[in-house]
A and B are shown apart, each in its own frame.
Chain A
Amino acid sequence: MTVIALRNATKRFPGTGGRPHTAVRDLTFEVAAGEFVAVVGPTGCGKSTTLSLVSGLEPPSSGEVEVDGTPVRGIPDGVGYMFQSDAVLPWRSVLDNVAAGPRYRGLAKAEARQKATVWVERVGLAKFAGYYPHQLSGGMRKRVALAQTLVNEPRIMLMDEPFSALDVQTRQLMQDELLRLWQGTGAAVVFVTHDLEEAIALADRVVVMTSSPATVKAIFDVPLRRPRDVEEIRMTPEFTAAYREIWACLRDEVARAREEASRAG
């Protein structure tokens, strides 16, 4: 069953000097329920815009974006979104940050906290429930954001390079955590990243985007079994084969993006 469908979705922003800047053009792809889709592309190509369209934070300039078969108008029900930069509330403790979603959705304070406690424990922050975000490390803040998103039990999770700011070891740890927590939720995931290894290690399918203005270049199936251990799986021949195949497709776009960047700069 298809939960997300983009059909020729295009997004233009008012650019500098009056000329509209096209972030994404003619995006067409679908995501099925419970599927983990990674979107890779050169840095700054408009991958995040794709998520803004699905989340309803930005309406498309033309084309269609559908969630659960209905066109997106405003934020669709059951959508969770993990942003690239920290979006946890600095004035709330870990527990109250996680309880924010249920509170917004009308749960009483005690109930919301009870629900939040479960997720704070699941992401391994039980000892830090009363801490403020500035007292936590970058990886721990990501755990808070993850719990904050998952506590709402989303059917669609949008993730915008959520682990890109972390060091390599913490990133792998978080990738494992994400897979562990996601398995069993049945949620569809759209995971935007510029790291192809991360994309293959996590996803069922990888969508390769062109350089700016971005559109879908190709879509690859990832033939790796679940459950996966992201560290182990990188060593397998299947992983290397998939990497080689997708990188051949992505390489040209990365090169072109670099060329454009050096010309502009």
Chain B
Amino acid sequence: MQAEMTVAPEQVREITGTRTHRRTRLWSVRFGLVVVWLASWQYAATHWIDPFFYSKPSAIGGRLVDWFTTGTAFGSIWKQLAVTLEEAVLGFLIGAVAGVVLGILLGRARFAAEVAAPFIKAANAVPRIVLASLFIIWFGLGLTSKVATAVVLVFFAVFFNAFQGAREVDRNLVNNARILGASRTQVLTSIVVPSATSWIFASLHAAFGFALIGAVVGEYAGADKGMGLLIANAQGTFDAAGIYAGMIIITVVALLAEWLLTLLENRLLRWRPPAQTSGDNYA
């Protein structure tokens, strides 16, 4: 009796204990890997390889500190970052909204989808990144040309998923809604759109990355401010550390955006069984 009463709580502690233990181990191994990688790079760049071409972690760290304390050759780093973010966010919003709306509408209109299919395939096959150069000619060096580049990249990523999502809607759900009295518009808003949401979110994760790429490449092709300009300038002056530093900043921004999107996704897709939600993968 005595033994039974003491065993139970200990078992519970043991289980939660292993879980926290597992987490600690997971993160220490991850952290260890980064340390080993950076240290070996630092060591190699000091002794064997030429840091002029490959740079080294300390130089990159120094450049980052320099950018954030004294600023870049083109002014404050925050300003450059804000410009790139503005372009990316605008491009993301316009591209995602257009992709979702057109994807869902075309996904529900069989004939129109068949008419449009070859054109969409062709448009998707165009190396869209090249359009960045064209947009600079059309819209000049300012914000518009970068937003346009981001929009074309985001649009197609979101469009195909929204299209597929709208097509995969359970016929049973649609029939049930029609019997219950739903009009065509009500079927669209209450059945098709929520069904396609998981599909759309799957693409939105990648799409913000595309928006950043579009903005940076747009700036790279020609701009007077932004992260792409910093990187292009670093390339022009053979400043490998500058390229890495720019890369790191953009990566951090992309990860933050990813985290925000996951929060939004979990909020909107609360109704899904927990096994399906993408908890730790994106956290």
Residues in A lying within 8 Å of B, measured CB to CB: 55, 57, 75, 79-81, 83, 85-87, 89-92, 100-101, 104-105, 132-134, 148-149, 152
Contacts and interface: CB of A to CB of B under 8 A. Distances in A.
Contacts of B182: 100, 104
A87 B272 contact: no
Nearest to B174: A87
Secondary structure of the B contact surface, majority rule: helix
A104 B186 contact: yes
Interface of B: 170, 172-173, 175-183, 186, 190-191, 194, 197, 269-273
A101 B181 CA distance: 6
Contact of B180 (A85, A91, A104, A132): A104
Contacts, number: 57
Contact of A100 (B170, B180, B197, B273): B180
Contacts of A75: 178-179
A79 B181 CA distance: 9
Nearest to B175: A57
A105 B181 contact: yes
Given A89-B191, A91-B194, A134-B272, A101 B180 contact: yes
Contact of B271 (A55, A85, A91): A91
Q: Which 10 A-B pairs have the closest CB atoms?
A: A87-B176, A104-B181, A101-B180, A91-B271, A134-B273, A81-B179, A104-B182, A105-B181, A87-B172, A132-B271
B179 A79 contact: yes
A75 B175 CA distance: 10
Contacts of B194: 89, 91
A149 B175 CA distance: 13
A101 B180 CA distance: 5
Given A83-B172, A89-B194, A100 B177 contact: yes
Given A81-B179, A104-B177, 4 more contacts: A81-B175, A87-B175, A89-B194, A104-B186
Contact of B183 (A80, A91, A104, A152): A104
12 contacts: A57-B175, A57-B179, A81-B175, A81-B176, A87-B170, A91-B197, A100-B180, A100-B190, A104-B186, A105-B181, A132-B271, A134-B271
- Of the candidates A55, A87, A90, A92, the one having the most CB atoms from chain B within 10 angstroms of its own CB is A87
Contacts of A91: 194, 197, 269, 271
B271 A83 contact: no
A176 to B, nearest CB: 24
Contacts of B175: 57, 81, 83, 87
B178 A57 contact: yes
A196 B117 CA distance: 49
Nearest to A93: B271
A105 B178 CA distance: 11
Contacts of A80: 179
- Of the candidates B170, B176, B194, B269, the one having the most CB atoms from chain A within 10 angstroms of its own CB is B176
A45 B271 CA distance: 36
A55 B182 CA distance: 14
A79 B175 CA distance: 12
A109 to B, nearest CB: 13
A100 B197 CA distance: 19
Contacts of A81: 175-176, 179
Contacts of A55: 179
Nearest to A84: B172
A80 B179 CA distance: 6
Contacts of A104: 177, 180-183, 186, 190
Contacts of A89: 173, 190-191, 194
Contacts of A86: 172
Contacts of B170: 87
A86 B175 CA distance: 12
A83 B197 CA distance: 24
Nearest to A80: B179
Contacts of B269: 91
A101 B273 CA distance: 25
B182 to A, nearest CB: 4
A75 B191 CA distance: 18
B185 to A, nearest CB: 10
Contacts of A83: 172, 175-176
- Of the candidates B179, B183, B194, the one having the most CB atoms from chain A within 10 angstroms of its own CB is B179
Contacts of B272: 90, 134
A105 to B, nearest CB: 4
Nearest to A133: B271
